[in-house]
């Protein structure tokens, strides 16, 4: 085992691990842009006549011709509301099958290659989305399912990558930067998506898919040139930073050429792992609810017009990104102060991330079109403080307890947790079929219960140290190396 090295901590700013966090930030941003682009584009893609028939709208085609782009690919498609719902939810099908597999494959071949191939394939699929839609409904449905399969490996592979790169005292900050990219990607898609759809640029709505697809290709080039699976194999890092990271993460490092048996039984018997699975179920419900249904709520209940709706819908996600970064730094400051144990910091931040949003659901129950300021304020507070879940709450806790298995454990939890991400928009569609404020109150009451449950379970059952079965595996690695 390597001896203790210089205790001096290399600066985080402009370090290789910092640039890695930025690349992961953009990875998550592109990941979400390619996920939610259809949510914006479908407004233009869905047949105008179909919308008129289903909503009894009084609008006429002449009122909206400037919103329908001129392009060789079909301007619009005759999809029912049910088929539109199927298309929007299709991307959640793939991760059921690839998240756990992705963590295992990354363990064998390394997370760098897995993430590169994932983004490359998903970017190609995104670019050909307009063509697939032009073929028929099932062509687009197939592409969206394949896109979900490709993206399913991302989160578990990133967690494994950080097991090699994130020293414990910087873990919350690095993961907060990395994870927050998804919120910016979501906000940018809401913000610019409507503009692109309304423009004639590259045919209008297809430009959303071309843009987000080519951004992924550019990211792939940077990723393959800069990133490595571990500090030892990185050509850009200096000896001081490399030695620091290796020493601080040594107990969590698994060399890709070494074979280990994954302790599945112990993983599923672990109280801490089961706690994280339930936390993921609760957290995914909330983020999916607002990611997929926020514009609908703003229109049906708060009665914002389309343009203002898109602009306002992006603000809470930008705010959430700021809160994720803040919570990560806040957590690391508390960790370095040694005033609180890691587990107490995680429970504090996770409680903030669940309970404050839970209170805002009460406010949303009383909001309507006559109280727009109240409704939007509650949404802003809700999504903003949810950032504590991701920057320093349950999402960071996977790396605390899982060691070399953190990616696999996250894959398991998010595969199961993906059920609520899939369920939330369907539940909203089922409950709010008449588009009445009273129906949305039921949605928010259910959300309140889910968030309180998420907070209580984590407070009672979460763990803050590497599990014994993960320690045993790490000890085996040390013996193999020696």
pLDDT by residue for the chain (482 residues), tens only, comes to: 344 444 567 776 778 888 888 999 999 999 989 988 887 787 777 644 444 444 443 333 333 334 333 444 556 677 776 677 778 788 888 887 887 777 778 878 888 899 999 999 999 999 999 999 888 889 999 999 999 999 888 887 887 788 778 787 777 778 778 877 888 888 888 888 777 877 777 777 888 899 999 999 999 999 999 888 778 877 777 777 777 777 766 655 544 434 457 788 888 889 999 999 999 999 999 988 888 778 778 777 887 765 677 678 888 988 988 898 888 888 888 888 888 888 899 999 999 999 999 999 999 998 888 888 899 999 999 999 998 998 888 988 887 888 778 777 877 888 888 888 888 877 887 787 777 888 899 999 999 999 999 999 999 998 878 887 877 554 544 444 44
pLDDT of residue 52: 40
pLDDT of residue 4: 41
Structural domains of the chain, ranges and CATH numbers in brackets: 16-61+79-481 (1.20.1250.20)
pLDDT of residue 472: 58
pLDDT of residue 449: 95
* 3-state SS string for the chain: CCCCCCCCCCCCCCCHHHHHHHHHHHHHHHHHHHHHHHHHHHHHHECHHHHHHHHCCCCCHHHCHHHCCCCCCCCCECCCHHHHHHHHHHHHCCHHHHHHHHHHHHHHHCHHHHHHHHHHHHHHHHHCHHHHHHHCHHHHHHHHHHHHHHHCCHHHHHHHHHHHHCCHHHHHHHHHHHHHHHHHHHHHHHHHHHHHHHCCHHHCCHHHHHHHHHHHHHHHHHHHHHCCCCHHHCCCCCHHHHHHHHHHHHHHCCCCCCCCCCCHHHHHHCHHHHHHHHHHHHHHHHHHHHHHHHHHHHHHCCCCCHHHHHHHHHHHHHHHHHHHHHHHHHHHHHHHHCCCCHHHHHHHHHHHHHHHHHHHHHHHHCCCCCCHHHHHHHHHHHHHHCHHHHHHCHHHHHHHHHHHHHHHHHHHHHHHHHHHHHHHHHHHHHHCCCCCHHHHHHHHHHHHHHHHHHHHHHHHHCCCCCCHHHHHHHHHHHHHHC
pLDDT of residue 250: 60
pLDDT of residue 432: 79
Q: Is the pTM higher than 0.75?
A: no
pLDDT of residue 253: 54
pLDDT of residue 188: 87
pLDDT of residue 55: 43
pLDDT of residue 454: 93
């Amino acid at each position: 085992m390597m001896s203790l090295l210089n205790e001096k901590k290399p600066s985080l700013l402009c370090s290789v691990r910092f640039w890695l966090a930025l690349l992961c930030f953009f990875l998550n941003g592109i990941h979400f842009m390619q996920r939610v682009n259809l949510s914006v584009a479908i407004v233009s893609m869905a047949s105008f006549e179909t919308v008129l028939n289903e909503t009894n709208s009084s609008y006429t085609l002449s009122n909206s011709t400037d919103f329908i782009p001129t392009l060789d690919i079909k301007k619009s498609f005759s999809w029912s509301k049910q088929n539109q719902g199927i298309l929007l939810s299709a991307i959640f099908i793939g991760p059921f099958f690839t998240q756990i597999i992705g963590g295992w494959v990354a363990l064998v071949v390394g997370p760098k290659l897995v993430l590169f191939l994932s983004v490359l394939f998903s970017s190609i699929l995104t670019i050909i989305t307009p063509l697939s839609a032009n073929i028929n409904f099932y062509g687009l449905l197939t592409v969206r399912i394949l896109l979900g399969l490709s993206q399913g490996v991302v989160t578990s592979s990133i967690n494994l990558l950080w097991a090699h790169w994130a020293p414990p005292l910087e873990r919350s900050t690095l993961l907060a930067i990395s994870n927050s990219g998804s919120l910016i990607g979501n906000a940018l898609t809401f913000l610019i998506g409507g503009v692109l759809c309304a423009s004639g640029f590259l045919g209008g709505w297809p430009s959303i898919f071309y843009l987000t697809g080519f951004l992924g290709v550019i990211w792939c080039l940077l990723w393959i040139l800069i990133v490595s699976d571990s500090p030892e194999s990185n050509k850009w890092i200096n000896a001081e930073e490399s030695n620091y990271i290796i020493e601080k993460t040594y107990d969590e490092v698994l060399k890709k050429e070494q074979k280990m048996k994954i302790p599945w039984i112990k993983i599923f018997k672990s109280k801490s792992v089961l706690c994280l699975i339930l936390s993921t179920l609760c957290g995914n419900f909330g983020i999916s609810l607002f990611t997929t249904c926020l514009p609908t709520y703003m229109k049906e209940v708060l009665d914002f017009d389309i343009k203002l709706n898109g602009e306002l819908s992006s603000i809470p996600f930008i705010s959430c990104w700021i809160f994720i970064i803040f919570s990560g730094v806040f957590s690391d400051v508390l960790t370095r102060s040694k005033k609180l144990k890691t587990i107490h910091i995680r429970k504090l931040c996770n409680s903030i991330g669940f309970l404050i949003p839970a209170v805002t659901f009460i406010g949303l129950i009383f909001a309507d079109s006559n109280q727009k300021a109240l409704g939007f304020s509650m949404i802003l507070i809700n999504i903003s403080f949810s950032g504590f879940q991701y920057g320093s709450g349950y999402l960071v806790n996977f790396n605390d307890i899982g060691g070399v298995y953190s990616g696999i454990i996250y894959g398991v939890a998010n595969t199961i947790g993906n059920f609520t991400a899939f369920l939330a928009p369907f539940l909203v569609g089922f409950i709010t079929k008449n588009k009445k404020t009273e129906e949305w109150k039921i949605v928010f009451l259910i959300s309140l219960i889910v968030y309180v449950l998420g907070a209580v379970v984590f407070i009672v059952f979460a763990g803050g140290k590497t599990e014994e079965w993960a320690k045993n595996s790490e000890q085996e690695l040390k013996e193999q190396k020696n």
